[in-house]
Chains A and B, each alone.
Chain A
Amino acid sequence: MSLFWIVIRQLAEIEEMATSKKVITREEWEKKLNDVRIRKEDMNRLVMNFLVTEGYVDAAEKFRAESGTEPDIDLATITDRMAVKKAVQCGNVEDAIEKVNDLNPEILDTNPQLFFHLQQQRLIELIRNGKVEEALEFAQEELAPRGEENQSFLEELEKTVALLAFEDVSNCPVGELLNISQRLKTASEVNAAILTSQSHEKDPKLPSLLKMLIWAQNQLDEKAAYPRINDLSKATLEDPSV
């Protein structure tokens, strides 16, 4: 009988060794957290980077005044960039193209894909507004030649023109092109291109740091049990599950 228990205990120990992870209690972890130094001015810069990249120009100006944080880009350029973005979001693609070229003609010259997507968006807007003839003419004259240069452009063009084949576009398989999200997609593509042309990163740093936090927590999960933050919007520590 006693031998039986010894064997059981040994088995349990072996199992525990195989699965044992370092356990960090809440108290220990809080001490570690407390030892971390995050500088206020760095957090301010992170917030400023977000406001600037997302194009909240008024907020960025106020933030500069209230926190003394200098933006990493000329705030005036944000206004122009946001005007372009807004134009696409509202469906004024021609206007947007003009504005981009005013800003820097190289952006569209060096970025055929972006230019194609803008033209495609223009076609979508024509179809949306029921200007069938104009749409056909535009597709044949402006878009078809580009489709010949590039297979993926051609496919996208065909998909877009297919909108004309349906009387009730809301139910057709390519109907999503008329969705607001298509405008937003194009708008964010232009936005990114303008930022890149200003040698600024196209994405704010904050979301990528948040992703890194999720990733880092997942990585650490493999080695240790520790208090996690599961709800980013509340930033509260949850006790480790042991």
Chain B
Amino acid sequence: MLVLQNTLLLHFYSLQFHFIGENYTHTESKREFSPLCSGSPFVFNQFVSGLKAMSAINATNGEDLARYFLDRSRLSLARGLCDMDEDEEAPTELNTINSSGGFLVVSPDKLSVKYTNVNLHGHDVGVVQGNRPAPVKRLVYYFEIFVKDAGTKGQIAIGFTSENFKMRRQPGWEANSCGYHGDDGNLYRGPGKSDEFGPTYTSGDIVGGGINYASQEYFFTKNGAVVGTAFKEVKGPLFPTIAVHSQNEEVQEFEVQERMKLQMTVDKMSLPTNVSHGLVRSYLQYYGYEDTLHSFDTATKSTVPPIYIAQENGFDEHDIVYALSQRKILRQLIRNGDIDAALGKLREWYPQIVQDDKSATCFLLHCQKFIELIRVGALEEAVKYGRMELAKYFEFPEFDDLVKDCVALLAYQRPHESSVGYLLEETQREVVADTVNAMILSTNPNMKDSQSFLHSYLERLLRQLTACCLERRSLNGDQGEAFHLHSVLDSNKAKC
């Protein structure tokens, strides 16, 4: 087995479609944060408040409830900053250090290799791995090579190897490795394990190797067409070896096909009649989107055939219709920035929610009032208001961070563009409105389940879905995709 002058032009390329935001955090996932997030003050809070949130749930005390929402708002901010935290780093170039030096030349861009030695024996193969193992938290990892010049014997292999692979052997010759060889088209999977697999390949061919984590299989391609698949025995990290490249539509096609297969399986599940309508309706009720709710009801009743959600699905009206109009009015006031009016209405309708001025609800409302003053440029008034209403919260460690951020708004000429500019965004008003909404729901004396006001039905289902996908992945050796609502919304096909 001799390898003569082989020149491979290599590009690392990996399919990265859906890593927008990990919806899930727990203490162990901290190490996964990208460097982008490590400087954020919210990262720490995230873990502390995760614990706080727990205690908030366990207690049915109303005050703790509002803190729970406060914590959630922090978390949502942290999430915003750490959207890419699941983006495992894929191999980007060839590993120039751990390659069989002397036998091949790696080009300065670290994407091409050339084998220069002449006439050596079988143990002197030029092998080079990617600089990182193939990422695992996805449906498929894939890379390609373009064979610029196969050399005189065409002995080229593409495959996957484990970290301590002997760098002078072809992938597939050693245990814990797998390689599709160009000279005979065979697939090698360890000493003495060689099977007829696909066509041979040579100069001018584009050859790809991939891992399908859902089926735990390797797959290889030649010029964009899948040649075959093989079961992946190796559980540990695998490095793409001698390889890699640019975008190839046919191979993207592979992932699309896998996804369609999955989608078809999922589509076969049957849903109760109009369950989506019912969930949308209860969502509108939960958040007090009263006008939308009425339009929706009118519309569903006039369709052919009409849809009578409540009767069909047995949704319990009383739980969430509670105080609907009042919740709607308060949401409107808060979304319009009219915090004084909102506080006034709350004092009138639900004095119990705002009677403790040091409560999280009051705190959020006062902060919002301060933010609204900044928004309209009433700085003097803001300072006065801050001294009067916000200063007292500095004593409380749980409010400390938000107070500081609010006050920091004063420091900037253009607060919108500052690091605390998020406070001026619409989402902050939404957080306050949602907190007030949940607080009012919690005063419902008919509430059977003390936790039912924490989340809408829709949110509970989405949480369940996310948790199921993550749990399944974790039981599957941490391989496979997670579920992210955000990326599902940004894509044209639902994923799991």
Contacts and interface: CB of A to CB of B under 8 A. Distances in A.
Q: Do A and B bind each other?
A: yes
Contacts of B463: 33, 36, 38
Contacts of B234: none
Interface in B421-450: 426-427, 430-431, 434, 449
Interface stretch (A11-19, A122-130, A154-162, A221-229): A221-229
Contact of B291 (A46, A66, A180, A224): A66
A193 to B, nearest CB: 17
B496 interface: yes
A219 interface: yes
B271 A211 contact: yes
B168 interface: no
A223 B469 CA distance: 12
Interface in A210-236: 210-220, 223-224, 226, 229, 232-236
A206 B276 contact: yes
Most buried by B among A65, A86, A209, A223: A209
A76 B292 CA distance: 17
B289 interface: yes
B472 A43 contact: no
Given A45-B489, A68-B426, A208-B267, A32 B471 contact: yes
Interface in B451-465: 456-465
Given A46-B485, A47-B280, A56-B296, A216 B492 contact: no
B304 A89 contact: yes
B464 A58 contact: no
A38 B23 contact: yes
B304 A90 contact: yes
B280 A50 contact: yes
Interface in B241-278: 263, 265-267, 269, 271-272, 275-276, 278
B79 A39 contact: yes
> What class of interface size applies to chain A in its complex with B?
35 or more
A123 to B, nearest CB: 20
A40 B472 contact: no
B471 A232 contact: no
A209 B467 contact: no
Contacts, number: 210
Interface stretch (B50-58, B110-118, B219-227, B407-415): B50-58
Most interface-central of A37, A59, A229 (chain B CB within 10 A): A37
Nearest to A210: B271
Given A220-B471, A229-B460, A232-B461, A212 B279 contact: no
Contact of B295 (A37, A58, A204, A208): A58
B475 A22 contact: yes
A162 to B, nearest CB: 26
A115 interface: no
Contacts of B267: 208, 211
Contact of B496 (A38, A56, A216): A216
Given A209-B465, A213-B465, A232-B275, A37 B280 contact: no
A59 B296 contact: yes
Contact of A212 (B296, B458, B496): B496
B212 interface: no
B24 A36 contact: yes
Contact of A233 (B299, B314, B496): B314
Contact of A51 (B280, B430, B472, B485): B280
B75 interface: yes
Most buried by B among A30, A31, A67: A67
A38 B26 CA distance: 14
Residue in A41, A45, A66, A233 whose Cβ sees the most chain B Cβ within 10 Å: A233
A63 interface: yes
B467 A32 contact: yes
Interface string B173-203: 0000000000000000000000000000000
A51 B276 CA distance: 11
Nearest to A89: B304
Contact of B471 (A24, A184, A218): A24
Contacts of B476: 223
B403 to A, nearest CB: 23
A207 B276 contact: yes
A40 B434 contact: yes
Contact of B54 (A34, A40, A42, A216): A34
B119 to A, nearest CB: 53
A116 interface: no
B260 to A, nearest CB: 13
Contact of B494 (A43, A59, A184, A208): A208
B280 A42 contact: no
B335 interface: yes
A34 B24 CA distance: 9
Contacts of B457: 233-235
B33 interface: no
A43 B458 contact: yes
A121 interface: no
Given A63-B289, A68-B335, A209-B494, 11 more contacts: A39-B485, A41-B427, A42-B486, A46-B458, A66-B331, A212-B266, A224-B475, A226-B471, A233-B272, A234-B315, A235-B457
13 contacts: A32-B471, A37-B75, A38-B485, A47-B458, A59-B295, A62-B295, A66-B328, A86-B304, A205-B488, A208-B267, A209-B485, A232-B271, A235-B457
Interface of A: 22, 24, 29-43, 45-47, 49-51, 56, 58-59, 61-63, 65-68, 86, 89-90, 180, 183-184, 201, 204-220, 223-224, 226, 229, 232-237
Q: Which 4 A-B pairs have the closest CB atoms?
A: A59-B295, A235-B457, A216-B468, A211-B269
